[in-house]
Chain A
Amino acid sequence: MLKIKDLHARVDGKEILKGVNLEVKPGEVHAIMGPNGSGKSTLASVIAGKEEFEMTKGTILYEGEDLDEVSPEERAHKGIFLSFQYPVEIPGVSVTNFMKTAINESRKARGQEDMPANEMLKLIREKSELLDIDRKFLSRSLNEGFSGGEKKRNEIFQMAMLEPKLAILDETDSGLDIDALRIVANGVNKLKSKKNAVILITHYQRLLEYIIPDFVHVIHDGKIVKSGTKELALELEEKGYDWLKKEPVA
């Protein structure tokens, strides 16, 4: 599904990613861990196509297609979803209205008609129940005045609505208390299938107790320095990141 080869990227002239290699297949859950400033979030933004991030070398293939010339919205239409670490506020635009626009824009790109209103309402009801979301919440302005937990839950709600093939969750666990974390993790687990893949970007092992990854990668100084299974995450929890920083790259 996703094949990243020797990816180099920079922002404001500073090189952040220095040769990332990663392959994600349908049905897999990958966790990307690493210390602050290692390039985790940059990787997420580059896959989503944020313009400030300049790819200087390497390729990102998504379902066999080179994403280099593909705009962020087209990537979204093709099924790439990014759950933001810091979701932005859009005053006066309700969650429902935002989702309606997003879904219909993707449908339009695929040559489909707008989703009929009753179908939309059904989908909203279904997904909000799945994530234990009060429907009053959906008529509030997008992220305006939301608590940290509400913002993250709203991201997962959007993911549920858009049903992406590849979901990248950028530090979705940060700022969540244990109850919110459980709800978010449950949501992600329910949305998992053999056809879609998830990349979890996280600082802590905590989230991985709820969403079990197939692979764990450690990123340091713009490169993946170690890959393994879920046991690697536990090892990191115990030892920290320092021992990896010293290890030579394989």
Chain B
Amino acid sequence: MAYTEEELKKELETKEYEYGFYTDIESDTFPKGLSEEVVIALSKKKEEPEWMTLWRLEAFKGWKEMTEPEWANIHYKKPDFQDISYYSAPNKKPKYESLDQVDPELLDTFKKLGISLDEQKILAGVAVDIVMDSVSVATTFKKTLAEKGIIFCPISEAIKEHPELVKKYIGSIVPPKDNFYAALNSAVFTDGSFCYIPKGVRCPMELSTYFRINQAGTGQFERTLVIADEGSYVSYLEGCTAPSRDENQLHAAVVELIALDDAEIKYSTVQNWYPGNKEGKGGVYNFVTKRGMCERNAKISWTQVETGSAITWKYPSCILKGDNSIGEFYSIAVTNNFQQADTGTKMIHLGKNTKSTIISKGISAGKSQNSYRGLVQVNSRAENARNFSQCDSLLMGNECGAHTFPYIEVKNKSAQIEHEATTSKIGEDQIFYCNQRGIDTEKAIALIVNGFSKEVLNKLPMEFAVEAQKLLEISLEGSVG
């Protein structure tokens, strides 16, 4: 049955003895601990060029001198960074022979989400004996993309095949020493995605289905780099509505987006990492740095649906450097039981006539804490900058919390900033009204929550919006007695 953390630990311990550390033999997992040697070994394992190794080492040096941030409205036991293994080869062997062996609870959730049988198999790690439809679909995708000159591959591949692009842009938006978790990620990231859209090209598909299948097992330190060259467009989809039962507790990803002149990037995320059990035990710590840079007339939209993780610490941001550039942030963050989320955005207005929109919807249930934290900064040279922010919180029950921390820094008199905030509670009267029309309490809550989140759900790509809607329902199941 399910692979437990205990089993993993045991395996790690034995592996250490089996292969030792400095050997070049095919070892699947590094022993625990982080040092310069580990960073070098990791880089070597991934056959990286020297510049990459040096870049990682520089980041590691910075990280050693940094301390974990404490300003967020979250409480947790800090991870022991020497108690983590920083490399584990992707598990190519299927875990199960058939779906019958998979945890029925997991399958039940897949079913509720309406995920196809084939996809269920991949997600659960079941062996697939015939050539699967979705795999061939993935190949077709790749061909279509290649015809347009679009590069879409694992970042480890890009480092080797397209070093000029990676070297130019990696760390240009999120510098290796930007913050504690970004520095850690820069030193030890294992893999992630790389995407380049050439000048004037409109990416013909959502980079989604392909990604969803290939994403499983990317590891805990993910690195994503998306470059949209002048006048290009791409819609990128990250994550998966299927529950991710990862053995790793700490996830520290970095995402960098570059939208050159007249380009547009739409980046959508659905995050559903394991949130821990009802008593608040276990669950993933999700510390993510996401940032995008807009050149002249460029536009970046972040849309996120965050339902998972025990702790979420995440602020997808836009640097509106170019004149007339646009930044958008649409977010739904759901916390239930003992989950804690501190999430929001930063909109940095540097160029003239820059515009930003922030719509944040926080839903708290159980004993969870849900915070919105957002910065709107207007630089002295940013003439006619405009921002509209709306932060709505929905509370369920009496034991959860919703918090809003808006920061506004304006250094130019021509700026127009609007901020609206509301807090509401699902009332017994609303539930009874629905009941009286034949809608049971569970369904009534789903209906009310979906109504509350509609403005953001509408921003998601169609097929994903439906899944996200179901995910919201599942995340809040049993939250009102």
Interface, chain A (partner B; CB < 8 A): 48-52, 71-73, 75-77, 81-82, 84, 87-88, 90-93, 97-98, 101-103, 105-106, 109, 141-142, 158, 162
Contacts and interface: CB of A to CB of B under 8 A. Distances in A.
A93 B430 contact: no
B443 interface: yes
Given A82-B436, A92-B452, A98-B447, 9 more contacts: A50-B432, A75-B436, A77-B438, A90-B430, A92-B454, A98-B437, A102-B437, A102-B439, A103-B438
Contacts of B435: 49, 71-73, 76
Interface string B429-452: 110111111111101000110111
B453 interface: yes
Contacts of B455: 92
Query: Which 4 residue pairs across A and B have the least CB separation, nearest first?
Result: A92-B451, A93-B451, A76-B438, A72-B435
Give the bracket for the number of chain B residues in contact with chain A.
Answer: 20 to 34
A111 to B, nearest CB: 14
A82 B433 CA distance: 9
Interface of B: 427-430, 432-441, 443, 447-448, 450-455
Contacts of A142: 451
Contacts of A90: 430, 433-434, 447-448, 451
A214 to B, nearest CB: 25
Contacts of B453: 92
Contacts, number: 74
Nearest to B453: A92
A105 B452 contact: no
Contacts of B428: 51-52
Main secondary structure of the interface of B (DSSP, over half): helix
Best-buried of B429, B434, B448 by chain A (most CB within 10 Å):
B434
A72 B447 contact: no
B443 A105 contact: yes
A48 B447 CA distance: 21
Best-buried of B430, B437, B441 by chain A (most CB within 10 Å):
B437
A72 B427 CA distance: 16
Contacts of A93: 447-448, 450-451
Contacts of A98: 437, 447
Contacts of B437: 76, 98, 102, 105, 158, 162
Contacts of B439: 73, 101-102, 105
Contacts of A76: 435-438
Given A88-B429, A90-B448, A92-B450, A101 B436 contact: no
A71 to B, nearest CB: 7
B438 A106 contact: yes
A53 B457 CA distance: 37
A77 B429 CA distance: 19
A102 B437 CA distance: 6
Contacts of B433: 84, 87-88, 90
A42 B276 CA distance: 43
Nearest to A89: B430
A2 B153 CA distance: 69
